[in-house]
Chain A
Amino acid sequence: MGALFSLFTVLILVLIAFAGVKAGNLHFLFGVVIPYAAIITFITGVIYRILKWAGSPVPFRIPTTCGQQKSLPWIKHSKIENPSNTLGVIKRMALEVLLFRSLFRNLKTEIREEKVVYGSEKWLWLAGLVFHWSFLIIILRHFRLFVDPVPAFMHLIESFDGFLQIGVPRLFITGVILLVSVAYLLFRRFFIQQVRYISLANDYFPLFLILGIGFTGILMRYFTKVDLVNTKQLIIGLFSFKPEIPEGVGVIFYIHLFLVSILFAYFPFSKLVHMPGVFLSPTRNLSNNNRTKRHINPWNYPVKVHTYEDYENEFREKMKKAGIPVEKE
Chain B
Amino acid sequence: MSNKVPTPDELSKIDYTPPKKGWMDTPVEFKPGTWCYGSRPKYLESVDFPNPRDWKPTDDDWKLPENWKEIFLKGMEERLRKYRSFRLFMDICVRCGACADKCHFFIGSGDPKNMPVLRAELLRSVYRKYFTASGKLLGKVAGARELTIDVLKELWYYYYQCTECRRCSVFCPYGIDTAEITIIARELLNLLGLNTDWIAGPVANCYRTGNHLGLEPHTFKNSIEFFLSDIEDITGIKIEPSFNRKGAEILFITPSGDTFADPGTYTCMGYLMLFHELGLDYTWSTYASEGGNFGFFTSNEMAKRLHYKIYAEAKRLGVKWILGGECGHMWRVLNQYLDTWHGPADFLEEPVSPITGTTFENAKSSKLVHIAEFTADLIRNGILKLDPSRNNHLKVTFHDSCNTSRGMGIFEEPRFIIRSVCNHFYEMPEDTIREKTFCCGSGSGLNAGENMELRMRGGFPRANAVKYVKEKHDVNMLANICAIDRAALPPLMDYWVPDVRVAGVHELVGNALVMKGEKERIVDLRGEPLPVKSESTSSEEVKEG
Contact = CB atoms under 8 A, between A and B. Distances in A.
Contacts of B118: 197-198
Given A128-B96, A305-B308, A102 B175 contact: yes
B242 to A, nearest CB: 9
A198 B122 CA distance: 11
Q: Which of A283, A296, A323 has the most CB of B within 10 A?
A: A283
A291 B84 contact: no
B92 interface: yes
A75 B409 CA distance: 12
Given A5-B141, A291-B335, A306-B207, A62 B410 contact: no
Contacts of A64: 166, 169-170, 175, 177, 406-407
A64 to B, nearest CB: 4
A5 B513 CA distance: 69
Contact of B48 (A54, A106, A304): A304
A303 B82 contact: no
Interface string B71-113: 0000000001111111110011111111011000000000010
A67 B435 contact: yes
Contacts of B362: 69-71, 84, 289, 291-292
A159 interface: no
A57 B82 contact: yes
21 contacts: A2-B141, A53-B91, A58-B83, A66-B406, A70-B362, A78-B409, A84-B362, A100-B173, A198-B118, A273-B91, A274-B93, A277-B92, A283-B169, A291-B362, A294-B339, A296-B340, A300-B340, A306-B308, A315-B218, A322-B217, A324-B221
A74 B380 CA distance: 9
Q: Which of A71, A202, A269, A312 has the most CB of B within 10 A?
A: A71
Contact of A71 (B218, B304, B308, B410): B410
A325 interface: yes
Given A195-B100, A201-B143, A325-B246, A271 B416 contact: no
B341 interface: yes
B274 to A, nearest CB: 17
A287 to B, nearest CB: 11
Contact of B413 (A72, A274, A325): A72
Contact of A194 (B97, B172, B305, B416): B97
Contacts, number: 287
B365 A65 contact: no
Contacts of A284: 174-175
A44 interface: no
B495 to A, nearest CB: 27
Interface in A42-92: 49, 52-62, 64-72, 74-76, 78, 81-82, 84
Nearest to B346: A294
A321 interface: yes
A121 to B, nearest CB: 6
Contacts of B409: 65-69, 78, 81-82, 288
Contacts of B98: 102-103, 106, 121, 124
Contacts of A312: 287
Contacts of A194: 97, 100-101, 112, 115
Given A297-B340, A300-B341, A311-B287, A59 B82 contact: yes
Given A62-B177, A277-B174, A283-B177, A198 B95 contact: yes
Contact of A68 (B23, B93, B411): B411
Q: Which of A56, A278, A314 has the most CB of B within 10 A?
A: A56
Contact of B134 (A54, A269, A280): A269
A224 interface: no
A240 interface: no
Interface string B286-323: 11000000000000110011001100110010000000
A323 B225 CA distance: 12
A22 B164 CA distance: 57
B373 interface: yes
B344 interface: yes
A60 to B, nearest CB: 6
A183 to B, nearest CB: 16
Given A71-B360, A281-B176, A318-B216, 5 more contacts: A124-B98, A200-B143, A292-B361, A299-B82, A323-B221
A11 B321 CA distance: 67
Interface of B: 22-23, 48, 80-88, 91-98, 100-101, 112, 115, 117-118, 121, 132-134, 141-143, 166, 169-177, 180, 207-210, 216-218, 221-222, 243-246, 286-287, 300-301, 304-305, 308-309, 312-313, 316, 335-337, 339-341, 343-344, 358, 360-366, 368, 373, 376-377, 380, 405-413, 416, 431, 435-436
A270 B134 contact: yes
B97 A55 contact: no
A64 B141 CA distance: 33
B87 A318 contact: no
A124 B416 contact: no
A199 interface: yes
Given A66-B435, A71-B410, A278-B173, A200 B95 contact: yes
Given A68-B412, A201-B141, A300-B341, A61 B336 contact: yes
A65 B405 contact: yes
Given A60-B340, A281-B175, A291-B368, A198 B88 contact: no
A115 interface: no
A293 B180 CA distance: 22
Given A60-B336, A72-B413, A271-B92, A292 B364 contact: yes
Given A57-B82, A76-B412, A203-B95, A197 B112 contact: yes
A72 B210 contact: no
A258 B209 CA distance: 67
A135 to B, nearest CB: 14
Nearest to B172: A102
A142 interface: no
Contact of B180 (A62, A106, A322): A62
A12 to B, nearest CB: 14
A108 interface: yes
A25 interface: no
Contacts of A100: 173
Contacts of B336: 60-62, 290
Contacts of A202: 134, 142-143
Q: Which 7 A-B pairs have the closest CB atoms?
A: A322-B218, A69-B409, A65-B409, A283-B175, A277-B92, A284-B175, A305-B308
A289 B23 CA distance: 40
Nearest to A206: B94
Contacts of B363: 291-292
Q: Which of A64, A69, A295 has the most CB of B within 10 A?
A: A64
A14 B497 CA distance: 60
Contacts of A324: 217-218, 221, 243-244, 286
Contact of A59 (B83, B216, B313, B431): B83
B425 to A, nearest CB: 17
Contacts of A291: 335, 339, 362-366, 368
B378 to A, nearest CB: 11
B373 A198 contact: no
Given A282-B84, A300-B340, A49 B312 contact: no
A82 B434 CA distance: 12
A236 B216 CA distance: 79
A2 B24 CA distance: 13
